[in-house]
Structure 1
């Protein structure tokens, strides 16, 4: 176990936002959330420290990365994700021993830290993906056929739902997304109440620590007057896919509880005169160089501002922003054939196979 200060948690969230590939929730709101929740030190716990019978759960938000604000007069709940956590505890009839993030992202990892701080439990140094993902079935548990039920949902209006059973995780995605759409675009969810014996064998370990390394590398480079993008790339064994300037603001729309869009760039430096495009569904999922697909999910496509290494979060790219695009290999679990079937380009309606980094090009 490691004791984290508020500053440590903030550094972790910056790293999570970078690994969130443009999604994973709003970083600034995530920072505000932990600043209000973390009054003392918080514990980061290794998955291997869990006992077999410890019960853990996963609190997070579901919805568009550009949700509508619920009118303050309509709000009856301060933290929908915390309320969903409490509801699932009551339903299970047992206190949770720890929480874990559903993904790495400035918003959704912050949600796990908020619930941990307010419930006085540790955060596990792990998540089911090692990046951010757009749909709730995109987890290591789904890959290994471990059900996410029962799960609970709460919105800012105070509506609460317990889902005891679903036919499949795709249906859970439809249910949570539909409730998010009628709830201002976002809902709090707590799912995957699992025993320690199950979690140890089914989660991607060490991912929060990796985010911490990334956040620290960026901070230290800025303090020393060094290149933060290169520092981040070194930690992640990343490949520089592109350097360029945005041709326009991101082109995007909210549809069915997701933020869909494209970003277009013209190259500078070693990429002068070349063109780059990224398609996102909440997260960056497909990249093209000069019209040819150069990288796809499950691998990570990360857009960083050249001047300070800060992540460009969707859909907030602005015209003429100078950026680097990094490619990072996903964890081995997420490069299996089954993982590519459920989280590759064909899942999102594209008529081509996944294009992934070679092992020597990324982690």
Structure 2
């Protein structure tokens, strides 16, 4: 049963220095030992932290903060549950929103996800089952990590401290539920509620995750470029990660919402770039500062319905290209002609002035619509995070490589070679740092 113990009572002490912890020690990542309540302030921490962890994707943080302010009241209470406390007979689904950020900035899409949740509940009731007991974020990113908590504020349902991606990903197939062949159907798609209180819905039975995404995009195109989606109905038994259920550990990434909360709190409270990097170093994550400089350009080209883009960051000596397909997938040092990072490792942005995270969609956006607009000329740090071991699965790696190839093909004039295989971030950085010393030595000669 949910109780009233606030998250802060079970979080790390602000008065104690952060220490390096083992990968299986959740003293820091883990933000509670049961099911607890969250306030709107806590949700803002999660949004900031999830934006940082989203590898440039997961939706604009400016949009997520506007959504949060409109959909969550100061007095609202949200709930979360840790993966080792899931009640085995409670029903679970993931609920997400998708669509055009421009349309959502205009006010569309505010009710699509809640409607998808309601329709999944209706489906379960008509099937003689209990209503949903838990929601799980579809990924870690500002918008799609926020959405389950908006539903929690309205309906009191608990959100699982974890997700199946560990970051934001360009395609629905690039998640551990899909890799582990968890049942996807039915897929429920919903529109916004209109002025008369009605909304459109369809229930589809799809062949696979790619089919589900195609159906969702087709539905969205007919409904103001937005849609709500509910799918992957399962039970707590399928995801419970207590000592008796370790077999479920490979199905998703545990504790990621708590990680986002901890990182986001530091971002919001300190607003200090160097302090945040020191704080980040206290977590059992593989992290590197890949590059520091000024955003000098952003260019986008449409490929297969996605925004394929390139962000250029430069300093006095070098230039870095960051290629993305909604989410950042590859960092390429254009001066030294070498890879710096590639998916499934994540490539994340922070402003150097005040340690604010942002997405690719926030860069050079409309400042009249986006309160977190990041103009060209902003000084930033590009931070690499090594992928969780579960995400280095051969099937997932091949999906990332395919997306990288598709994105690079949109920029043939750059002559960036397609990577033949995934090179993990620590290996790339070892080569990169040696290359940097060699490059500097020859430049000064």
1:106-125 correspondence runs (5 A): 106-125=142-161
CA distance in 1, matches of 2:106, 2:63: 17
Check 1:326–1:233 CA distance in 2 against 1; reply closer, same or farther (3 A cut): farther
**Residue 95 (structure 1) aligned with residue 131 (structure 2):** yes
Q: Name which of structure 1's ranges 111-120 and 180-189 shifts more when overlaid on structure 2.
A: 180-189
Where structure 1 has 5 or more consecutive residues not aligned to the other structure, the ranges are none
345 and 329 in structure 1: CA distance in 2 versus 1, 3 angstrom threshold: farther
Q: Distance in 2 between matches of 1:168 and 1:341?
A: 17
Structure-2 residue corresponding to 1:337:
394
Q: Which runs of 5+ in 2 are unaligned?
A: 1-34, 241-247, 364-374, 409-417, 431-445
Alignment partner for residue 354 of structure 1, among 404, 422, 442?
A: 422
Deviation at 1:256, TM superposition (A): 4.6
Give the alignment of 1:167-316 within 5 angstroms: 167-200=207-240, 201=248, 202-222=251-271, 227-232=275-280, 234-235=282-283, 236-248=285-297, 250-253=298-301, 256-267=304-315, 272-290=316-334, 291-316=337-362
SS of equivalent to 1:358 = helix
Question: Which one has the largest radius of gyration?
Answer: 2
**Inter-CA distance 335–78: structure 2 relative to 1 (3 Å threshold):** closer
2:41 — aligned with what?
A: 7
Query: How many matched pairs?
Result: 351
Q: Deviations over 1:266-290 (max 9, x none)?
A: 12xxxx4111001111111111013
RMSD of Structure 2 on Structure 1 (CA): 2.5
Kept in 2, the 8 Å contact 1:258–1:282? The answer is yes
For 2:63, the equivalent position in structure 1 comes to: 29
C-alpha displacement of 1:139: 1.3
Inter-partner Cα distance in structure 2 for 1:110 and 1:71 = 19
Q: Does 1:68 align with 2:103?
A: yes
Alpha-carbon distance in 2 for matches of 1:149, 1:59: 13
Query: Would you say 1:80 and 2:112 are equivalent positions?
Result: yes
8 A Cα contact 1:345 1:354, kept in partner: no
